Structure 1
Amino acid sequence: MRILNWGVDSAAAVTEDLYQCVIENFGRPDFWGRYLSTIPNISDGLTPEEYSFIQNNGMKLMPIYNNFRQAVGARAGAVAARNSIFKARQLGIPEGTFIFANVERFFEVDADWIVAWVETFYNSPYRPGIYADPDEGPFNAAYCQATTMSNLVLEQSVIWSAEPEPGTTTKRNAPRQFTPSRPDCEANVWAWQYGRDAEECPIDTVLMENRLFQTLA
């Protein structure tokens, strides 16, 4: 039987108040997805103190890199990867951790960017993840083309799928079946954001396979 871990992600910093809101309304997360960069009106960047708070409360960190607005071109993909690796090192995130590029469904995406993101990580101590929507937008075609351009894309990368969205739930009531949308080609889809924008707290709800959870810090 597939072992699943339940957690959340948030653009807001994990404060005691937000943590208590999640505990009281949803349950204790196994992990918390957080952005590495501060982007005005979009995300609070993770701090060392917040990272310690997450760990001290028995959770693992799911790092997300979102300091880009489109995913086009090899140069941009390599720059995004290098910047995320630098941020991860700054924060003391352990080697071997997957870092997820935040590729929104409305972004422009091409295969060159994906290949460069993955190949740049291959020469680093970290591993390449991609948060993306296989159903809406250009990611599906770009990813499948990227797998034909570089064997490393399939061998090294993991996808965190944004579809389908049955809605946020408590930990206890999370989906029993792990059924994220997948690209039309072979892919390692190991995480699923199945609920967005919870009413009770500013979080999304996420399921991931235990093999990904074990790599988190």
Structure 2
Amino acid sequence: MLLNWGVDSASAVTNELLNCVRTQFGQPDFWGRYLHTIENISDGLSAEEIRFIQDNEMKIMPIYNNFSEAVGTRAGSVAARNAIFRARQLGIGDGTFIFANIENFFQVDADWIIAWVEAFYTSSYRPGMYADPDEGPFNEAYCQATERSELVLEQSVIWSAEPEPGPTSKSGAPRRFQPSRPNCSANVWAWQYGRDADACPIDTVLMESRLYQTLT
């Protein structure tokens, strides 16, 4: 299996942050960044930052985090439409997966997941979900969603938050791609295996090359 190594950060990618990561960890293949500014949580991605990332030979992994629970059909549909609108505004390329940031302390239900996926189906983007299959309600909600909607399994990709052996350099990344998975069929194509690195404010991520190829 071909893998790509990268990072994600709540902070905007600057020369200083990029140099820190290159020096301490290596050159990322991609960088995960949030679509929206949320006070005390994340800097929102800008068109200028996208150009900077791409000019430095990295792809962008877009993350949508402008929500604090994933419950209900209407909320899932609104979240997806907002994510799609922002991605279009920023000029993110067609076919890119956009990852809903579903933390393990969020409430989650199958209605939200189905609505998130179905809203993307008629768009030029594809639905992803950052989630924890081990802790919290995501596993049960996701498996219920796949039972109710074939599109969930067919269209969506999961970026798993577990297990968490810890941040490493590019050369020291896990040799085996072993993210936690829901206990039902799922496309788990990315793994955040290290969080909150000490040397730079980033998390470290592995993804399958088939996901990497879809990124802008």
TM-score, normalization: structure 2?
1.00
- The residue aligned with 2:3 is 4
Once the two structures are superposed, what CA deviation does each residue of 1:149-179 show, in whole Å capped at 9, x if it has no partner? 1000000000000000000000000000000
1:59 aligns with 2:68: no
Could you list the structure 1 runs, at least 4 aligned residues long, displaced by more than 4 angstroms after superposition: none
- The residue aligned with 1:132 is 131
Once the two structures are superposed, what CA deviation does each residue of 1:100-135 show, in whole Å capped at 9, x if it has no partner? 000000000000000000000001000000000000
Note the residue ranges of structure 2 that are not aligned, 5 or more in a row. none
Letter in 2 for 1:106: F
Measured in 2, the distance between the counterparts of 1:199 and 1:41 equals 19
- The residue aligned with 1:178 is 177
Letter in 1 for 2:132: D
Measured in 1, the distance between the counterparts of 2:4 and 2:124 equals 24
Give the secondary structure class of the aligned counterpart of 2:176: coil
TM-score, normalization: structure 1?
0.99
Measured in 2, the distance between the counterparts of 1:47 and 1:214 equals 22
Measured in 1, the distance between the counterparts of 2:12 and 2:190 equals 21
**Within 5 Å, which residues of 2 pair with 1:1-217?**
2-217=1-216
Give the secondary structure class of the aligned counterpart of 1:152: helix
Letter in 2 for 1:195: G
Note the residue ranges of structure 1 that are not aligned, 5 or more in a row. none
Measured in 2, the distance between the counterparts of 1:12 and 1:71 equals 24
Q: How many residues align?
A: 216
Give the secondary structure class of the aligned counterpart of 1:146: helix
Give the secondary structure class of the aligned counterpart of 1:193: strand
Letter in 2 for 1:52: R
Measured in 2, the distance between the counterparts of 1:15 and 1:213 equals 22
The alignment-based identity, stated in percent, is 75
Over the aligned positions, Cα root-mean-square deviation in angstroms equals 0.2
Structure 1 residue 58: deviation in Å? 0.1
